Amino acid sequence: DQQVKQNSPSLSVQEGRISILNCDYTNSMFDYFLWYKKYPAEGPTFLISISSIKDKNEDGRFTVFLNKSAKHLSLHIVPSQPGDSAVYFCAAVNGGSQGNLIFGKGTKLSVKP
Amino acid sequence: DVKVTQSSRYLVKRTGEKVFLECVQDMDHENMFWYRQDPGLGLRLIYFSYDVKMKEKGDIPEGYSVSREKKERFSLILESASTNQTSMYLCASVYMGQGRHEQYFGPGTRLTVT
């Protein structure tokens, strides 16, 4: 059973507007959540992470919000730029284990000029 | 800027060959991980290291070994390559501490074993 779910396979946004990427999880033992951006044939690029004891973390244009009661997190990109077009993965750290990541299946973001 | 490099982007080897995959990071991180990525299976942890000369088995260590002689370098070794080890191999350099957890990936090595 998938522990980390990204239910939207794709998202299209106009340049300059906000992109909101969503992620749900099932395991309340996850202690960190990370967001990655990935281009084809490249490794994932780390964007931002959040500890499970926080509800918000911000870094430049990227903000991650965590709602523990709903087991939901989201990545906000403001303003969106054409260069943000990529596949975005949500990942959770398996708390209490070796620290390996469990990834969602990704959401393809297209930012149109 | 963060930098994780892997020795090869693409590699083709024959069954039974010994294969070395190298990963180098320049962030002075203590933790380094090796994953493999397969369609439908996601990322699976092979081995990790939390310090020089220290190593721990991940979820799928069989058929692999690792070496960490220097802090910046973590090598994955396929002792005798087999066709079921054809995969994308990803190395990660990991920062854990001060309430943060960040994993930085290299570009990946696509290994084909024939």
Q: Percent of chain A at pLDDT above 70?
A: 96
Q: Is the pLDDT of residue A95 over 70?
A: no
What pLDDT score was predicted for residue B42?
A: 80
pLDDT tier for residue A83 given thresholds of 50, 70 and 90:
very high
pLDDT tier for residue A87 given thresholds of 50, 70 and 90:
very high
Q: What is the amino acid identity at position B85?
A: Q
DSSP state of B63: T
B39 to chain A: closest CA residue: A105
Calculate mean pLDDT across residues A58-78.
97
CA quadruple A78, A85, B25, A49: dihedral sign:
positive
What pLDDT score was predicted for residue A43?
A: 87
Q: Which residues of A touch B48 (CB under 8 A)?
A: 98-100
pLDDT tier for residue A97 given thresholds of 50, 70 and 90:
low
Instruction: Give the tokens for residue A78.
Output: 């403001």
Q: What is the pLDDT of residues A9-21, one digit of tens each?
A: 999 999 999 999 9
Q: Which residues of B touch A100 (CB under 8 A)?
A: 33, 35, 43, 45, 48, 58-59
Would you call B43 and A34 a contact, using CB atoms and an 8 Å cutoff? no
What pLDDT score was predicted for residue A90?
A: 96
Would you call B100 and A49 a contact, using CB atoms and an 8 Å cutoff? yes
Q: For residue B85, report the phi and psi dihedrals to the nearest 5 degrees.
A: -100, 5
Q: What is the pLDDT of residues B52-95, one digit of tens each?
A: 999 999 989 999 999 999 999 999 999 999 999 999 999 999 99
Residue A9, Cβ density class (10 Å: 0-12 exposed, 13-18 middle, ≥19 buried): exposed
- Cα separations (Å) of A43 from A14, A79, B32, B62, B79? 26, 24, 15, 24, 25
Instruction: Give the tokens for residue B65.
Output: 């070994």
Which single residue is written with the structure tokens 């854990």? B96
What pLDDT score was predicted for residue A110?
A: 98
What pLDDT score was predicted for residue A99?
A: 79
What pLDDT score was predicted for residue A2?
A: 80
Would you call B58 and A98 a contact, using CB atoms and an 8 Å cutoff? yes
Would you call B102 and A34 a contact, using CB atoms and an 8 Å cutoff? yes
Q: What is the pLDDT of residues A43-67, one digit of tens each?
A: 899 999 999 999 999 999 999 999 9
Least Cα separation, residue B10 to chain A (angstroms): 10
Q: Is the pLDDT of residue A105 over 70?
A: yes
Q: What is the pLDDT of residues A33-46, one digit of tens each?
A: 999 999 887 889 99
Cα(A98)–Cα(B102) distance, integer angstroms: 14
Least Cα separation, residue B16 to chain A (angstroms): 27
What pLDDT score was predicted for residue A96?
A: 63
Least Cα separation, residue A79 to chain B (angstroms): 23
What pLDDT score was predicted for residue A4?
A: 94
Neighbours of B31 (CB within 10 A): 21
Least Cα separation, residue A44 to chain B (angstroms): 6
Among the partner-chain residues A45, A98, A102, the one whose CB lies closest to the CB of B56 is A98
Would you call B42 and A100 a contact, using CB atoms and an 8 Å cutoff? no
Q: Which residues of A touch B33 (CB under 8 A)?
A: 99-100
